[in-house]
A and B are shown apart, each in its own frame.
Chain A
Amino acid sequence: MVMDMSTSSHQVLHAFCVRPEISFEAQGDNEEVILVVRAHPITQLYWIINGFLFLIMLLGINYFIPHFLQSAQILFLNAMIISGIFTYLWINILSWYFNVGIITNQRVIDVDLSSIIYREVTYTNLGKIEDVTSKGGGFIASYFNYGNVFIQTAGTEVNIEFIDIPHPADVAKLVNQLMNQGSEQ
């Protein structure tokens, strides 16, 4: 199946957005965002399950709370734990949302946000790309069609990695197409 990259669309729960209404810092005047990719939602399932398990554990903990604590203290403890679970989920949502790969008609941008505190933004011009590799493997990755795309740049430049993104082969193909268009011009 060949992806249509000419019309705007959001697929795989906003993990594969074609021509979205997204702009980025240092975007050029004639620079057009063609594709925005995030990790496939299925790879994020573990923290959603963890969140539910924490909530179930909270219900369990209430049975074992020491009797010497007052009801106001028990209520406060519950509120504190619920806030903690909310924060855990929110950090993971932010990490997923802002770990993004952007492909424009001029550049490839890799935005990484890990543990909320550390962020890294890598820009590479299409002309500096030497090699594009898409890798996918395993039962779940094959079933849901997600994998990694590695973009190798010239010399000592930082390489770009899009991890667990949907349709990795299509992404690699798009980058190759854009590289060829750039070299023809």
Chain B
Amino acid sequence: MTNIADWLNSGHLIVWFFKAFAIVFTSMYLLFGIVIYKQTQIMIKTVESPKSALMLLISLIQIGAAVVLLFWAIML
């Protein structure tokens, strides 16, 4: 019982809560990034322009950022 109280007082709870929040949030962010990427793919087929590749690249960068954040959250 005292071990649990010590663990709670040592700030581990905050660290674990923060980590759980970070992993859940970045997972959702990654999912959202994939949805945006897929939607961009569909839209550049609907309206094709010389900037289509750039639009797709930026959407892909967003997925990359989400993956980096997810790994960072796991390592946190």
Contacts and interface: CB of A to CB of B under 8 A. Distances in A.
Interface of A: 20-25, 68-70, 72-73, 76, 79-80, 83-84, 86-87, 90-91, 94, 97-98, 100, 102, 111, 113, 116-117, 119, 121
A116 B47 contact: no
B32 A76 contact: no
Interface of B: 11, 14-15, 18, 22, 25-26, 29, 32-33, 35-36, 39-40, 42-43, 45-50, 55, 58-59, 62, 65-66, 69, 72-73, 76
Contacts of A84: 29
Given A68-B11, A117-B39, A111 B46 contact: yes
Given A83-B69, A90-B62, A97-B55, A121 B46 contact: yes
Contacts of A87: 29, 32-33, 36, 62
A163 to B, nearest CB: 17
Contacts of B29: 80, 83-84, 87
Nearest to A87: B62
Given A22-B47, A119-B42, A94 B55 contact: yes
Contact of A119 (B22, B46, B72): B46
A79 B50 contact: no
A100 B47 contact: yes
B56 to A, nearest CB: 11
B47 A83 contact: no
B25 A111 contact: no
Contacts of B36: 87, 90-91, 94, 116
Contacts of B58: 90
Given A21-B50, A25-B47, 7 more contacts: A22-B48, A22-B49, A24-B48, A79-B69, A83-B66, A98-B46, A116-B35
A102 B62 CA distance: 29
B49 A20 contact: yes
A146 B46 CA distance: 25
B65 A68 contact: no
Contacts of A25: 45-47
B43 A98 contact: yes
A69 B13 CA distance: 12
A83 B72 CA distance: 13
Contacts of A119: 39, 42-43, 46
